Every structure is written in C-alpha cells, then in structure tokens.
Amino acid sequence: MKYSYYPGCTLKTKAKDLDLYARKCAEALGAELEEVDEWQCCGGVYTTAQDEIATKLSSVRALTCARDRGQALVTVCSACHNVIKRVNNDMAESEYVRTRVNNYMQPENPYKGETKVIHYLEFLRDEVGFDNIKKAVVNPVKRRIAAYYGCLLLRPGSVMAMDNPENPKILENFITAIGGTPVVSPYRNECCGAYLTLTDSAAPEKRSGLIVDSCEKKGAEMIITACPLCLYNLKKNGGDKLPIVYFTEILAEALGIK
C-alpha cells in the first residue's frame, strides 16, 4: 500500500522523531508513505474568510500532488489535517473558492477536491485495521492511558468526519489495540489553550493543567495525543505529573521499533 504523505513543518523541525515513528510504523504495517513533492506550510490555522485565497494554495498543491499520483493523502499533525481537509472540502463544495484557487494554479488541470484526506489514526483504523495492529504488537503497552483529542482532530464534525466529536472512540480503540487500558477523561476533547500560548500563557497553563489533573484523578499513567501543539502545552503545564506522549511514539514502542 502506498500513500502520499504530508508531514508538515513541526514534524520536520522540532518533532522529527514523531515523523520518523510515523514512517517506520507504516513500513512495519506493510504501507509506504511517499512525501508529497515540494510541500509548503499549510498555515497552521484554517482561514474561514472565503475571499482569502492565498492561504489555501499550499494545501491545494499537496492535494493536487496526491491526486496526480492516484493516492490518498495521509497527515499526522492534527492541525495540518484540519487545514488540509477543510480546504479540500472547500475545493469540492464551493465553486467560488474552487474557481479562484484554480486561477492561481493550473487552469488546464483544475483541482476539484478529488483527493481522499485521511489522518494517520484513520489510516490505522480503516486501512490497516486495529485487529491487524493488535497482531503486529510485540511489546504490549500495559498501562492505563488517557486519550487527549483536543479541538482540531474532530471539529467541525461534518467536515472532519473521523469520529463522533462529542463521544469519540478512535484513540481509545487504538490504545486497546496496542495492549493498553483506555482511561476516559471528561476534558479529552476540550481545548488545551492552543495558540494562545504565544500571546497569553496563563490560558493554556490553566486549560492544560485542568486536562492533566483530570486524567491523573481518573487513574491514568500516561496521556497520548495526536497534536504537536497539544503535546507541547500539556508537557509544559502538566508533564511533571504524567508522561505526555505522541501517539506515533507509543505505537513504535508497541511494535518494537522505537
């Protein structure tokens, strides 16, 4: 199985190990992630303004590359995934956006939202299958693990369409597949403070602390997340209480390739 792959900026700079784990785990599970050609930053935040076309171009370049290869596009960072999938939806559903973006791109080969965009967790669940991952585990992670989803992985639910945004199960099912025991926290899909860490550190400190405290009270021994920014905020504001780990890292441990 071959998939186009968009790593994003963070996994190419401050979080290179998370990118490496993603690639090696995919290889161990019988898949190959082929990095898209000359990708650029997705912007990190989806711009809701319909007349803001320039911010959508880098996502469309990556989507077009995957389409031309005849492959689905896999993302690992939940922020990148949110931006790219929402832009893809715009290209499929909005003639206004589609026409203006394609005027910047290749009018002779316009992009119309043809690429299937999947998060790495969806790749594990829908392409590989959690049952097959369970069979591939050589080092079961026998710990009580709390899943932290954050905001961007699940919302808006009608576009992201990965799981129920109010009662998700994909990370808990992933934890079970690698041998762990899921711990459900009431704040698992609440915001950690996200980008406010750049301008108002008190907000993420409060939000992230609340999330970590809740997981600790529920008996968790570890928290896993799928967003590098969430990972940063939770580690900074609660990493002294519980280990905070990216999901590709714990998968690499379970598969014996960390």
- Residue 118: strand pairing partners: 74
The span from the CA of 153 to the CA of 86, in Å, is: 11
Q: What is the pLDDT of residues 143-168, one digit of tens each?
A: 999 999 999 999 999 999 999 999 99
The span from the CA of 219 to the CA of 95, in Å, is: 50
Q: Mean of the per-residue pLDDT values for the chain?
A: 94
Local structure of residue 204 (DSSP, 8 states): H
Q: Write down the architecture of domain 136-255 according to CATH.
A: 3-Layer(aba) Sandwich (3.40)
The span from the CA of 193 to the CA of 102, in Å, is: 35
Q: Which residue has the tokens 């280990």?
A: 243
The answer to whether residues 76 and 118 touch, using CB atoms and an 8 Å cutoff, is no
Q: In what order do the strands lie in the sheet with 181-183?
A: 181-183, 144-148, 222-225, 244-246
Confidence band, pLDDT 50/70/90 cuts, at residue 42 = very high
Strand boundaries in 115-211, DSSP class E: 117-119, 144-148, 181-183
Is 2-120 a domain of CATH 1.20.1050?
Answer: yes
Tell me the mean pLDDT in the region 235-252: 94
Q: At what angle do helices 228-238 and 202-217 cross, to 10 degrees?
A: 80
H-only helix segments in 128-223: 130-136, 157-160, 170-177, 202-217
This prediction's pTM: 0.95
Q: What is the pLDDT of residues 163-220, one digit of tens each?
A: 999 999 999 999 999 999 999 999 999 999 877 777 888 888 999 999 999 999 999 9
Question: How do the domains of the chain map onto residue ranges?
Answer: 2-120, 136-255
Q: Is 239's pLDDT higher than 90?
A: no
